[in-house]
Amino acid sequence: MSILSKFKLENKTAIVTGAARGLGMAMAIGLAEAGANIVIPDIDYEEARKTASEIAELGVETLALKTDVTDEEDVSRMVAETLERFGQIDILINNAGICKHIPAEEMSKKDWEEVINVNLTGVFLCAREVAKPMIKAKKGSIINIASMSGYIINYPQPQVSYNASKAGVIHLTKSLAAEWAKYNIRVNAIAPGYMKTKMTAQFLEKKPEMKEFWVAPTPMKRMGKPEELQGAAVYLASDASSFMTGNVLIIDGGYTVY
């Protein structure tokens, strides 16, 4: 098989959580361009439907679902409805995530738990449920969207629950990779740096001066564009990365080198 054909995802089904917009949407488009059918579970069902119909124009099948990744019943239904429609799940990108900027000493248990529940528990629940059919099929690729915040502490904004959740995602990735290698399921992560999405825009709208703190220590002197994660997503989803598991691709314009 030639190297470029190993990147192809035709006849594969990919679930990308939280792909109604932002990084998830960009990665879903990348997988669709490589040939995969796409499932978009998102709490924002209207946006998910719009994105699903846009992606369908690329010539693949798509399905939008109303799913809260923190809700076990929703996650079970996500897997059941995907299997009903497509008969298989080959790829899961655990992308849904949230961030709160609150000083640690002022953070309520509720705010702490909301972030941990979506970013860490949600990743675990989706991985656990999707692994069940993958174990039966004896194949699969799971990609968790961590962050450079799992390695470094962002400055100047205080985001303790986010940073802790993303460090958790990195170790969860390694743990699941170790457990599920025997089933031919690979589990890897992508750790983006500062990317231009609604998540970062909502913070920059309130404090535009933060951008300089984000960009100045980035060797490439800019924020990333969502489509700049597409190559990594297709690589990790496909047979091009067949000997890679339990690892993390850091895509941050060099922010973590200093």
Ligand X SMILES: NC(=O)c1ccc[n+]([C@@H]2O[C@H](COP(=O)([O-])OP(=O)(O)OC[C@H]3O[C@@H](n4cnc5c(N)ncnc54)[C@H](O)[C@@H]3O)[C@@H](O)[C@H]2O)c1
E-only strand ranges, 54-177 = 62-66, 91-94, 140-145
What's the min distance (Å) between Cβ of 165 and ligand X? 8
* 242 DSSP assignment: T
Whichever of 135 and 199 has its CB closer to ligand X, that residue is 199
Cβ nearer to ligand X, comparing 122 with 140? 122
Helix (H, G, I), strand (E, B) or coil at 84: helix
Q: Could you tell me how many residues make up the chain?
A: 258
Active site residue: 45, 155, 162, 235, which one?
162
C-alpha dihedral (208, 150, 241, 28), degrees to nearest 10 = -40
User: Contact positions toward ligand X, by CB under 6 A?
Assistant: 17-18, 20-24, 42-44, 67-70, 95-98, 118, 122, 145, 147, 192, 194-195, 197-200
Measured from the CB atom, the residue of 183 and 213 that comes closer to ligand X is 213
In angstroms, what is the minimal distance from the CB of 197 to ligand X?
A: 3
- C-beta of residue 34 within 8 angstroms of C-beta of residue 28: no
| Residue with smaller CB distance to ligand X, 227 or 239 | 227
Tell me the β-bridge partners of 93.
16, 143
What is the closest distance, in whole angstroms, from the C-beta atom of residue 158 to ligand X in the complex? 16
For CA atoms 149, 154, 157, 163, the dihedral sign is positive
Q: C-alpha angle with apex 169: 163 to 171, nearest 5 degrees?
A: 110
Minimum distance of ligand X from residue 196's CB (angstroms):
7
3-state DSSP call for residue 46? helix
CB 55 to ligand X: min, Å: 14
Whether 162 sits among the annotated catalytic residues: the reply is: yes
Residue 28 contacts residue 19 (beta carbons within 8 Å): yes
Name the residues annotated as catalytic. Answer: 162
